[in-house]
Amino acid sequence: MLEKIKFYQTGSNTVGNRLLNPSMRTIQASVDRPNALISGHRACQGCGEALGARYAIDAAMRATGGQLMVVNATGCLEVFSTPYPESAWRLPWMHSLFGNAAAVGSGLASAAKIRAQKNGDSVVPRVIAQGGDGGTTDIGMGCLSGMFDRNDDVLYICYDNEAYMNTGVQRSSATPPSARTATTMPVGEHPGADWGKGKDVPLIAMAHGIPYVATATVADLRDLEQKVTKAMSYHGARYIQILVPCPLGWGLKSSGLTVTAARLAMETGFYPIFEAEYGKITSVRKIRAKQPVTNYLKIQKRYAHLLKKNADPNTVARLQAMCDQNIKDFGLLGDDQPELNPTAIQAYERSQAI
Q: Which stretch binds other proteins (CB under 8 A): 46-54, 69-77, 207-215, 337-345?
A: 46-54
What is the C-alpha separation between 221 and 167, in angstroms, rounded?
28
User: What Rg do the C-alpha atoms of the chain give, in angstroms?
Assistant: 20
Cβ closer to other proteins: 15 or 116? 15
CB of 42 to other proteins, least distance (A): 7
| Part of the chain binding other proteins (CB under 8 A), chosen from 43-51, 62-70, 124-132, 164-172 | 43-51
Please pick, from the candidates 150, 197, 288, 290, the single residue that binds other proteins as defined by CB under 8 A.
Answer: 288
Compute the distance between CA of residue 184 and CA of residue 305 in angstroms, rounded to an integer: 12
Q: How far is the CB of 275 from other proteins (least distance, A)?
A: 22
Q: For residue 149, what is the DSSP state?
A: H
- The answer to the question of residue 247 lying near other proteins (CB under 8 A) is yes
d(CA 31, CA 226): 19
| Amino acid occupying residue 299 | I
Using CA atoms, how far residue 52 sits from 57, 120, 121, 130, 262, in Å, is 8, 35, 32, 11, 11
- Site for other proteins contains 333 (CB under 8 A): no
Alpha helices for 233-310 (secondary structure H): 247-250, 258-267, 293-297
By CB under 8 A, tell whether 8 contacts other proteins. yes
Interface stretch with other proteins, choices 139-147, 233-241, 253-261, 307-315 (CB under 8 A) = 253-261
3-state secondary structure of 334: coil
Closest separation in Å from C-beta 28 to other proteins? 4
Residue 22 engages other proteins in binding (rule: CB under 8 A): no
Nearest distance, CB of residue 339 and other proteins, angstroms: 28
- Burial profile 73-86: b = 16 or more Cβ within 10 angstroms, e = fewer: bbbbbbbbbbeeee
Footprint (CB under 8 A) of other proteins, residues 66-125: 81, 84-88
DSSP 297-330: HTTBGGGGGGSSTTS-HHHHHHHHHHHHHHHHHH
Is the CB of 236 or the CB of 245 nearer to other proteins? 245
Smallest separation (angstroms) from other proteins to the CB of 60 = 17
| Interacting residues toward other proteins by CB under 8 A | 1-2, 5-11, 13-19, 25-26, 28-29, 31, 35, 37-43, 45-48, 50-51, 54, 81, 84-88, 218, 221, 247, 254-260, 263, 288-289
